[in-house]
Structure 1
Amino acid sequence: MSQARRTFGVERRSIDFIPETERHGKVRSLFTLWFSANMQITTVVTGALAVSIGLSLGWAIVAIVVGNLLGGIFMALHSAQGPRMGIPQMIQSRAQFGYFGAILPLLLVIVMYIGFFASSGVLGGQALAAWTGLPVTPSIIIVAIICTALAIFGYDLIHRYEGIVSAIFAIGFLYLTIRLLTGHSLAKIPAPAFSLGTFLLVISVIATWQLTYGPYVADYSRYLPARTSIATSFFSTYAGSVISSIWMMGFGAVAVAIAGAQFNTDAVRFVVEQAGPGLAFIFYILVVLGIIGANVLNLYGVFLSSTTTIAALQRFSIDLRTRIFFVLGAAIVGTAVAVVGQGNFVENYTNFLLFLLYFIIPWSGINLVDFYLIRHEVYDIDAIFDPNGIYGRVNWRALLVYVLAIVLELPFVSTTIYTGPLVAVLGGADIAWIVGLLVSAVLYYLLARAHTTEKAAPTVIAETAPED
């Protein structure tokens, strides 16, 4: 069967299944999309946290590499689900949590999208303001408007945008990286004493960056032909996301080690000034383009997740007007959060990242175990859209595992909001994400496997054989 032709009008599909006649695109687009999504200032700020939290530059780089290599595995495993399922990532959660039970993780994911949209929007607004001379608040709004337009057009235009700017980012940040490393002396940077607890905490923060892509990464692979193999989807996504994240986070760690408080006060200005006299305006544009590339994914994710949530309670058609309503509504909320929270950005952003970790990890463990180990990549798609289908209205087993995993994470949580009783024993380490992942994966596997042996195997739709 020939591939459908990619078009760049407003996307017709939303949360519904993508039939094979409409599948299109090449798997390499996953590399450029996720490479582009991470080549931006928010990733740089995340890497700077490794040094700001208390690691030496050398150990910060090690933690950045380890955290991304580990977190990227789970993120890319979710991406590989897209071609096989042909539906958005979070609506697939109905197969684990039930038709209505999936609303709980959906609501948490919507909060996550809004938070990332707001935090990235602050940095984009700062860059646009520094470039144009406009106040920060109107600049945040302008960046949000551009993201809104891209999100309304949807999947194909998002892929096209990310593909184009990925090459621009690679060239621009290569130049900035060379300027950063050759324009400053790294020999005199002080090296704090190594702390295993701090090292593990930083790995947790970095791994979170990759893991929190899990609830929407398959949204951007679901139009690929069903014959696309798990391996090619996985490695294209993994390489794009991990390479760019390590690069940008390493850049951030070096930058804050050199500049200290100057970087934390105005990260955007410090990064752009590395370009040298007369070139700053080019790199302010680069920063703004990067924020747009990241934030359009968050906005598109809110659209898919919010329509999935509301459609479970009240069925409705998703036409152009509905699409604009949901995207615009999410953009308004996210922009308002960005405007209100722009003052104390770095601290608020750190707390936000760590907060997300405890709720996203158990969902990821349950989803991946169900897809790869319980149902072996085969689902009844029609039943996912049917409240009376084989996946049920509420899967209390999955919800029990999900809540239990979060509760068992709490003793290991280390944030400024709450610190668990076992954190001090571990020297300040935060290993809650490891606990949450293992508990959710193991318990769900045992309960789901025992439950499926009690019933006849569900009817499944035939899948196309994978193409390696």
Structure 2
Amino acid sequence: MAASTKNVSVGTVETRGIEPVPDSERHGHAGQMFWTWFAANISILGLPLGATLVAFRGLNIWQAALVAIVGSFGSFALVGALSLAGKKGGAPALTLSRAVFGQRGNAGPTLVTWLSRVGWETITTTTAAYALLALLGVAFDVRQNSFLTVLCLLVFIACTLLISGLGHATIMWINKWATVLFGVLNLIVMGFLVATVDWSKVLEAPAGPSSGVIAGIGFIAAGTGIGWANAGADYARYLPRTIPGRRLVTASAFGAGIPLVLLISLGSLLTAGDPSLATSSDPVSAINAMLPSWMAIPYLIAAFGGLLMSNHLSTYSAGLTMITLGLRVPRAWAVVIDIVLMFLGGIYFMLIADDFYGPFSTFLTLLAVPISAWIGVIAVDMLRGRDYDPDALMDTSRTSRYWYTGGFRLPAVLAWVAAIVSGLLFTTAGTGADDVWFSGPLADTWPGVNGLGWAVSIGVGAAVYAVFGGRGPITTPASSPALEESVR
């Protein structure tokens, strides 16, 4: 695939695909990662996450706040650490992954990553369409019907395409200024929601078991940072190599942690007094019902905008992932293909499926396992000082330095598979007690009961690869001081 012409101006279409960014085109600062992950996490989906901690994990508000802090800050610190590969290699996360798994062996992790992105986009698009439908109802007294549902889906998808299609420079600019706007709106809405809390019920709620706290941390980590861990490098690839890695980790952790802790804690507060939010098939309407009528319009605008901020990031990454899979189209067209699938998924959720959060929780549970397995392998590989050969990354033929054995780097691939199998042994996934889609033979053990199958995957993937993946730094023949400095 030929290298794209560079284009990194705000408001113009980014024509670079997955090819590594040369040093001469690097720009920006670590603070961009703060705004990137703040933007990705100001959506109202954080409220149902908090609601789940109280309604289904039995935690009180203090435990839920602790879980939110550890799960959110911890998982996005990991996202920041993994994004260092993007700063070092200048390419998207799954393109860099070719160096670890081999040109063919990387297909499995890349496919899982793409499915994860499409799933998240469908969830976000569906929720945003509910917000727009509610806004039309409040502003114009229009009742929901199939035509309006499809129209609202198309409006949100068009907004997503406009931002994601333009690409990296536009995304970085919008992340900062739109986050300020929608962040302020969300703070105002949150203030009014706090006024609806039944504080007597909140303060009287007994503490849940310690196992619920551990399970809650796992649930929040899997539902927030773990889902983004394979996308961090996509946004760090334009940053200069000389930026200290610790700044990226700190910016990522605080950028996501601040909005997530506020939203998750608020969701927990609301549910302690009224559990309806945790079981609602339409979380937008459930939250809207808690507000005074005159707050409906600013709330719904904030909800729509926050979801858009998250969705355009996911869609941008999905386009890069599709190209890594072998789709030979310009990056902008990969985004177009992705949003068509997103639209079809939204129609299914809104017009066909009976349950919203059942499939959502099941989706998170299952995909967290292979993604976590990838994290374990990649983390060990990075710690060994992996350097990236830009020409070999883009050469998918047998002549590539990253072809290895038949296109597979067996230690990494086998570690990934072993980690997936191990994680699934402890995993239960289903929409409810009477509708279990999958249950591993060890799901009744302590890690399984507490939802830690994903953590088992990280541990096994890291351990197996550490033992069989070779020793010492993995560098190109012409490693440079600049490359060494990039991970400090």
Q: Which residue among 347, 350, 362 is the counterpart of 2:361?
A: 350
CA distance in 1, matches of 2:50, 2:417: 30
Alignment of 1:238-387 (within 5 A): 238-261=253-276, 264-265=279-280, 266-272=282-288, 276-310=292-326, 316=328, 318=329, 322-342=330-350, 343-371=354-382, 373-374=383-384, 376-387=385-396
Q: Which residue among 428, 447, 465 is the counterpart of 1:414?
A: 428
Deviations 1:422-463 (A, max 9, x none): 33332821221221111111211221225x69xx96424435
2:71 and 2:218 in contact (8 A); partners too? yes
Say which is worse superposed, 421-430 or 80-89, in terms of deviation: 421-430
Say which is worse superposed, 86-95 or 335-344, in terms of deviation: 335-344
Q: How far off is 1:291 after superposition?
A: 1.0
What residue number does 2:120 align with?
Answer: 116
Q: Which amino acid aligns with 2:294?
A: G
1:84 and 1:377 in contact (8 A); partners too? no
Change (3 A) 1:364 1:105: same
What residue number does 2:21 align with?
Answer: 18
2:127 and 2:284 in contact (8 A); partners too? yes
2:426 and 2:444 in contact (8 A); partners too? no
CA distance in 2, matches of 1:22, 1:223: 7
Say which is worse superposed, 457-466 or 33-42, in terms of deviation: 457-466
CA distance in 2, matches of 1:408, 1:153: 41
Q: Which amino acid aligns with 2:285?
A: R
Give the 3-state SS of the residue equivalent to 1:415 in structure 2: strand
What residue number does 1:395 align with?
Answer: 409
2:76 and 2:225 in contact (8 A); partners too? yes
Say which is worse superposed, 399-408 or 274-283, in terms of deviation: 274-283
Q: Which amino acid aligns with 2:456?
A: V
Q: Which residue among 433, 437, 447 is the counterpart of 2:468?
A: 447
CA distance in 1, matches of 2:475, 2:369: 33
Change (3 A) 1:407 1:262: closer
**1:217 equivalenced with 2:232 (yes/no):** yes
CA distance in 2, matches of 1:45, 1:236: 25
Q: Which residue among 115, 131, 134 is the counterpart of 1:130?
A: 134
Q: Which amino acid aligns with 1:418?
A: F
Q: How far off is 1:62 after superposition?
A: 2.3
Q: Which amino acid aligns with 1:20?
A: D
Q: How far off is 1:245 after superposition?
A: 1.5
Report the RMSD for the aligned CA atoms in angstroms.
Answer: 2.3
CA distance in 1, matches of 2:290, 2:232: 32
2:84 and 2:248 in contact (8 A); partners too? yes
Change (3 A) 1:274 1:36: farther
Give the 3-state SS of the residue equivalent to 1:248 in structure 2: helix
CA distance in 2, matches of 1:324, 1:39: 25
- Structure 1: runs of 5+ lacking an equivalent: none
CA distance in 2, matches of 1:367, 1:347: 31
Q: Which residue among 107, 112, 122 is the counterpart of 1:103?
A: 107
Q: How far off is 1:188 after superposition?
A: 1.7
**1:142 equivalenced with 2:155 (yes/no):** yes
What is the percentage of aligned positions where both structures have the same residue? 23
Normalising to structure 1: TM-score of the pair?
A: 0.90
- Structure 2: runs of 5+ lacking an equivalent: 1-6, 138-143, 431-436
1:41 and 1:290 in contact (8 A); partners too? yes
Normalising to structure 2: TM-score of the pair?
A: 0.87
Change (3 A) 1:8 1:377: farther
Q: Which residue among 190, 202, 218 is the counterpart of 1:177?
A: 190
Q: How far off is 1:173 after superposition?
A: 2.3
1:378 and 1:463 in contact (8 A); partners too? no
**1:191 equivalenced with 2:205 (yes/no):** yes
Deviations 1:101-140 (A, max 9, x none): 1111101111111100001111100000100236333212
Change (3 A) 1:262 1:29: closer
Change (3 A) 1:457 1:12: closer
Q: How far off is 1:35 after superposition?
A: 0.6
Q: How far off is 1:413 after superposition?
A: 1.0
Q: Which amino acid aligns with 2:234?
A: D
**1:49 equivalenced with 2:52 (yes/no):** yes
2:60 and 2:208 in contact (8 A); partners too? no
Say which is worse superposed, 439-448 or 397-406, in terms of deviation: 439-448
Q: How far off is 1:193 after superposition?
A: 6.3
Give the 3-state SS of the residue equivalent to 1:13 in structure 2: coil
CA distance in 1, matches of 2:14, 2:332: 12
* Equivalenced residues, count: 452
CA distance in 1, matches of 2:77, 2:208: 27
Q: How far off is 1:238 after superposition?
A: 1.4
CA distance in 2, matches of 1:325, 1:46: 33
2:77 and 2:253 in contact (8 A); partners too? yes
Q: How far off is 1:141 after superposition?
A: 2.1
Give the 3-state SS of the residue equivalent to 1:215 in structure 2: coil
What residue number does 1:85 align with?
Answer: 89
1:409 and 1:435 in contact (8 A); partners too? yes
Q: Which residue among 242, 266, 269 is the counterpart of 1:227?
A: 242
CA distance in 2, matches of 1:54, 1:340: 29
Q: Which amino acid aligns with 1:185?
A: D
Deviations 1:21-52 (A, max 9, x none): 21122221110111111000122222222123
